[in-house]
Amino acid sequence: MAKKGAATVQNKRKLSWDLIWKQRYLFFMSLPFVVWIIIFKYIPLWGWTMAFQEVKPATFAIPVWQREFTGLQNFMDAFKDRIFMQTMINTLGISILQIGLGTIVAILFAVFLNELVFTKFKKITQTVSYLPHFVSWVIIASLAKNIFNDGGLFDTLTHTNLHLMSTNSPLIWFVIVLIDCWKEMGWNAIIYLSAMAGIDTGLYEAAQMDGANRFQKMWHITLPGIRPTIIVLLIMSIGGALNVGMERQMLLSNPLVQDHTMVLSWFSYIRGIGSSNYGLGTAIGVFQSIVSVTLLLIANKLAGLVGEDKLI
Amino acid sequence: MKNLHKTWFDYLLIVFFVFILIITLYPFINVLAISFNDATDTMKNINFVIPRKFTITNYKYVFEEGGIVMPLFISIAKTVIGTLLGVICTAMLAYTLSRQDFVAHKLFTMIFVVTMYVGGGMIPEYLLIMRTLHLGNNFLVYILPGLVWVYNMILVRSFIDGLPLALQEAARIDGANDFQIWYQVVMPLCTPVLATIALYYAVGQWNSFMDTYLYAKDLKTLQFKLYEIMSQATMQLDTHNVNNTNQAVTPMAIRMAVTVVATVPIIIVYPFVQKYFVGGMTLGAVKN
């Protein structure tokens, strides 16, 4: 039985109590987690129904089928909200900056690191570059205060007061994105570096023969070599454009700049949990998810149209 | 593509990466220096890398009066328990899903993978945990909702898929049951991938902030404590006199000392697991 079981991969054995009994250990080892994931991940999905109902703390206990359906009222309320437009602009602004700058910085880092011939130094640089990735946003926020706040490093270096973290303008987007680039540069480069390791070294030798210099090799071999990776990661990050996490924004924000750090997930928190309008908060989350999937599909389609490999 | 002789470009790259190293490390060294510097002296200028007036008063204050002992304990507890349980559960689940002959293998895999793409979102999860399960301010809220990360499960499963099947066959012929095969044959071979996911779980647990913020403000973790210290901006100009000394401690100095305490465990752990996680990350990239 044992040999039959593992050796034939596409086994079409009939489901029977006998078979289930034989695999009882496997069920013991997996069923608890199936129950767990249904509770913690699938029941919240069912919570999407709240987006179409009016749900406040007082009405939360009422079973879902007895609550009154309000159609798209919650979505209308969200779109008409005083700060919705600004929140949307902030979310997109931060995302676009993030995708653009983050990608360029990580690729530059990877390309240059790939060119580094001093092996020991290369290793140390890479290890150090992972450090900020593993440090929490709370700690990063604490470090950033010393650098960007009034009287911090930037102000001292330039001998002026730049108000980098206290100007109520999109300047704060740049500060947030810059900090994020600094944090994730080394980590995001890993994936590009491993793509570069897969490039045929014969190409470099041939280019060498033809008299190509270092920059030409980088431009004509390394970058085209990692293009599929870049495209896949770009499609994925465009899909996540509206899912800018609330944690980073909240921690790097302060009341002076809050108008420009408010993003959708934070807005959902404030209306949904802060003001206990569960239905409205859920509606914002649902809106986010729907737009995300749409963006992902559009980006994927576009990649296909310009002749790149598609993600899905 | 190694060049025998090094050109000016190679040395320019060195300069470039030394610059990168400096901007990566400066903020950390700066915080470390401030945390060991006399608090009143720090107020003159915060941009330095070597303590001007060395003192351990800031740490003394933080541990004796700053109220970080309990948060530190909670942070350690959730990291240790969450990581241990997470690794064991992930490995167990991954093994069952790696078994192609397991009757529920396809169905269960699908149930897990779907959750990587669709989720209920913040509000429904919040309501489930707080209103339905009543886990608010309960230590379980740190462990249960994030018990197994599907991404980590896939990492382990891919690793098990790469192991020779003959070993499992041999154990089965010797009369081992499925649990014994997992525990005695598969687990010992999985050390590299288990080290990687242990790092992910440990870092995730140690760094998590939103779980305390949303669900358990009474069970403050170190990260949350640091957040509280940061948001008490009104304290900015107060100074506290540390008992039995005439040295003052400022909110700035307290913040720096707590930042260092919260960072040190990470710095100690991650370089050791580096050789594993780099492989793990690219594997995940290929599989996705």
Cβ contact, residue pair A41, B119, below 8 Å: yes
- Candidates B191, B222, B194, B197; CA nearest to B209 is B222
Cβ contact, residue pair A34, B111, below 8 Å: yes
Cβ contact, residue pair A2, B172, below 8 Å: yes
Tokens of B71: 């948060």
- Residue from B19, B21, B105, B122 to probe the interface with A (highest A Cβ count within 10 Å): B122
Cβ contact, residue pair B17, A194, below 8 Å: no
Q: CA B88, CA B94: separation in Å to the nearest integer? A: 10
Phi, psi (deg, nearest 5) at residue B248: -95, 155
Cβ contact, residue pair A190, B278, below 8 Å: yes
A9, A142, A147: residue with CB nearest B230: A142
Cβ contact, residue pair A152, B30, below 8 Å: no
User: What is the percent of chain A with per-residue pLDDT over 70, rounded to a whole number?
Assistant: 95
DSSP H or E run through B241: strand B240-241
In Å, how far are A110, A167, A294, A302 from A229, measured between CA atoms?
A: 13, 37, 21, 16
Q: Could you tell me which chain A residue has the CA closest to the CA of B28?
A: A143
B2, B226, B267: residue with CB nearest A142: B226
In Å, how far are A41, B19, B81, B88, B183 from A33, measured between CA atoms?
A: 11, 47, 17, 12, 18
Tokens of A305: 């149209």
B7 dihedral zone (left: phi>0; alpha: psi -120 to 50; beta) = beta
The pLDDT assigned to B252 comes to: 87
B86 neighbourhood in chain A, CB within 8 Å: none
Mind telling me how many Å the CA of A261 is from chain B's nearest CA? 16
A7-11, A27-31, A278-282 — which is least confidently predicted?
A7-11
The pLDDT assigned to A311 comes to: 65
A247 neighbourhood in chain B, CB within 8 Å: 209-210
Residues of chain B with pLDDT under 70: 1-4, 233-247, 279-288
A25, A47, A146: residue with CB nearest B120: A47
Taking only the tens place, the pLDDT of each residue in A233-288 is 898 899 888 888 899 999 999 888 999 999 999 999 999 999 999 999 999 999 99
- pTM for this predicted structure: 0.89
B17, B25, B127: residue with CB nearest A47: B127
The pLDDT assigned to B153 comes to: 95
- Token pair 């809106």 is found at A287
Mean pLDDT over residues A129-151, rounded? 92
A143 neighbourhood in chain B, CB within 8 Å: 27-28, 30-31, 259
A25, A217, A268: residue with CB nearest B123: A268
Task: Inform me whether the C-beta atom of residue B225 falls under 8 Å from chain A C-beta atoms.
Answer: no
Mind telling me how many Å the CA of B57 is from chain A's nearest CA? 20
Task: Inform me whether the C-beta atom of residue B96 falls under 8 Å from chain A C-beta atoms.
Answer: yes
- Give A7 or A141, the one with higher predicted confidence: A141
Helix, strand or coil, per DSSP, at residue A110? helix
Domain boundaries, chain B: 8-65+232-287, 69-215
B13, B46, B209: residue with CB nearest A136: B209
Q: How many CB atoms lie within 10 A of CB A305?
A: 9
Query: Residue B241 pairs with which residues in a beta bridge?
Result: B248
The pLDDT assigned to B241 comes to: 53
Q: Are B26 and B49 in contact (CB under 8 A)?
A: yes
Tokens of A241: 């454009």
Cβ contact, residue pair B104, A265, below 8 Å: no
Domains of chain A plus CATH, in order, are 87-305 (1.10.3720.10)
A3, A153, A286: residue with CB nearest B47: A153
> Over 80: is that where the pLDDT of A9 sits?
no
Q: What is the mean pLDDT of chain A?
A: 89
Mind telling me how many Å the CA of B245 is from chain A's nearest CA? 27
Q: CA A132, CA A309: separation in Å to the nearest integer? A: 32
Cβ contact, residue pair A121, B17, below 8 Å: yes
Helix, strand or coil, per DSSP, at residue B274? helix
In Å, how far are B31, B52, B260, B284 from B62, measured between CA atoms?
A: 15, 20, 11, 41
A246 neighbourhood in chain B, CB within 8 Å: 122, 210
> To 10 degrees, the CA torsion angle through A191, A196, A200, A203?
150
Residue A7 binned pLDDT confidence (cut-offs 50, 70, 90): very low
Cβ contact, residue pair A47, B25, below 8 Å: no
Question: What CATH number belongs to B69-215?
Answer: 1.10.3720.10
Cβ contact, residue pair B262, A138, below 8 Å: yes
Mind telling me how many Å the CA of A5 is from chain B's nearest CA? 5
Q: Could you tell me which chain B residue has the CA closest to the CA of A49?
A: B124
- Candidates A184, A142, A51, A248; CA nearest to B213 is A248
Cβ contact, residue pair A139, B262, below 8 Å: yes
In Å, how far are A3, A11, B107 from B162, measured between CA atoms?
A: 19, 20, 22
Mean pLDDT over residues A158-186, rounded? 91
Q: Could you tell me which chain B residue has the CA closest to the CA of A283?
A: B123
The pLDDT assigned to B287 comes to: 40
**B167-202 b/e with 16+ CB inside 10 Å = b?**
ebbebbeeebebbebbbebbbeebeebbbbbbbbbb
Residue A43 binned pLDDT confidence (cut-offs 50, 70, 90): very high
A186 neighbourhood in chain B, CB within 8 Å: 24
The pLDDT assigned to B42 comes to: 87
Helix, strand or coil, per DSSP, at residue A277? coil
